[in-house]
């Protein structure tokens, strides 16, 4: 995350008002909810993990064991359990 000087992006009146509450500290201003995206949405990482998890669930339903899946996908047995037993 890149730092931006407040006096470069915030109007002076608003900056003066903010200084009543915070001075000389780093202030994080989160994105508006409407602009928020889940992790991996832009990079495609989320899609890849969702696809892998669907494959894992399908293989588990077809009889593959949790240990077999953990070995094949280099994941812990606990992670495999979370994936195959999740409702999503």
pLDDT digits (tens, 9 = 90+) for 8-42: 999 999 999 999 999 999 888 888 888 878 888 88
Any domain includes 1 = no
For tokens 């409407």, what's the residue? 34
What residue numbers bound the domain in which 66 lies? 6-32+39-85
Q: pTM score, two decimals?
A: 0.60
Cα–Cα dist 15/84, whole Å: 50
SS3 47: helix
Any domain includes 15 = yes
Give the number of other CB atoms < 10 A from CB of residue 41.
11
Any domain includes 23 = yes
The phi-psi region of residue 62 (left if phi > 0; otherwise alpha if psi is between -120 and 50; otherwise beta) is alpha
Q: Are 65 and 83 in contact (CB under 8 A)?
A: no
Domain count, the chain: 1
């Amino acid at each position: 995350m890149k730092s931006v000087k407040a006096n470069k992006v915030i109007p002076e009146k608003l900056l003066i008002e903010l200084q009543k509450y915070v001075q000389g500290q780093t202030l994080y201003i989160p994105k508006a909810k409407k602009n928020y995206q889940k992790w991996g949405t832009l990079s495609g990482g989320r899609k890849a993990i969702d696809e892998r998890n669907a494959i894992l669930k399908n293989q588990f339903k077809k009889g593959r064991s949790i240990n077999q899946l953990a070995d094949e996908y280099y994941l812990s047995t606990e992670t495999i359990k979370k994936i195959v037993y999740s409702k999503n």
